Structure 1
Amino acid sequence: MANPHAGEVTLTLNGTAYPCKLTLGALAELEAELQTGTLIDLIDRFDTGAFSSRDVLALCVAGLRGGGWRGTSADLLTADIAGGPVGAAQAAALLLARAFTPVA
């Protein structure tokens, strides 16, 4: 089970639940993958609903990698994600929110 206070989100792929977390390394990989703007630009796209499926995929891969998953974007392209595209987008948005929410 994911710990939201540690910035974790659960993403279920092919019936298996995986922990996701945007670690510093995962965020660096995410920036390199997106190659457009900054993380603030990405956050703005999610805040305004202007995010792309590429944004969702990149965030999910980064979060999965931060949680210890060793797959690739290509692996995620063929995976059955619980909740479909909406579930993936919700997980991606939660990852961003939890990564940048201060913990008291």
Structure 2
Amino acid sequence: MANPWRGDVALVIDGQTQVMRLTLGALAELETVMVSDSLMAMVQRFESSNFTSNDVLALLRAGLRGGRCDVSDEALLHAEIEGGPLAAARAAAELLARAFTVPQP
């Protein structure tokens, strides 16, 4: 079960609910693969809806690793995500938001 206080975000991938999280290690990995200068630049891209599909995939990959989910990068590229690309983008944005804000009760 996803715990927003811990930064968890749930996403159904190939029929299985995966609980993702951006840990400090996942954020560090994300920084190395990002095209942005910083994580804040990526946050701004999501806030202004200027993100790319590569941004979404990078965030989902980092979140899956941070959540210790058993979904490979290759499997993610071909996965069926419940709700499609829009749900994937929402989950990626939510991962970023939960990494840098405290959820509202």
State how far apart, in whole Å, the 2-side matches of 1:75 and 1:34 are.
20
- Matching residue of 2:88: 88
The separation in 2 between residues aligned to 1:100 and 1:82, in whole angstroms, is 25
Tell me the distance in 2 between the aligned counterparts of 1:34 and 1:98: 19
For 1:71 and 1:37, the matched residues in 2 are separated by: 27
> C-alpha displacement at 1:26, in angstroms?
0.3
Q: Give the gaps of 5 or more residues in structure 1.
A: none
Identical residues among aligned pairs (%): 51
Q: Which region of structure 1 is more displaced relative to structure 2, 80-89 or 70-79? A: 70-79
* Aligned-partner Cα distance in 1 for 2:83–2:93: 14
TM-score normalized by the length of structure 1: 0.93
Q: For the aligned residues, what is the CA RMSD?
A: 1.5
Alignment of structure 1 residues 1-104 onto 2, 5 Å: 1-102=1-102
Whether the aligned pair in 2 keeps the contact of 1:10 and 1:19 (CA below 8 Å) is yes
Deviation at 1:70, TM superposition (A): 4.0
Tell me the alpha carbon deviations over residues 12-68 of structure 1, each in whole angstroms, 9 at most, x when there is no partner: 110000110000000011111114310000000001000000000000110011000
Contact 1:58 / 1:73 at 8 angstroms: preserved in 2? Answer: no
C-alpha separation in 1, matches of 2:91 and 2:60: 7
Q: TM-score normalised to the size of structure 2?
A: 0.92
Higher mean Cα deviation, 50-59 or 34-43? 34-43
What residue identity is the alignment partner of 1:10?
A
Equivalent position amino acid for 1:40 in 2: M
Paired residues in the alignment total: 104
Structure 2 alignment gaps of length 5 or more: none
Moved over 6 A (4+): none
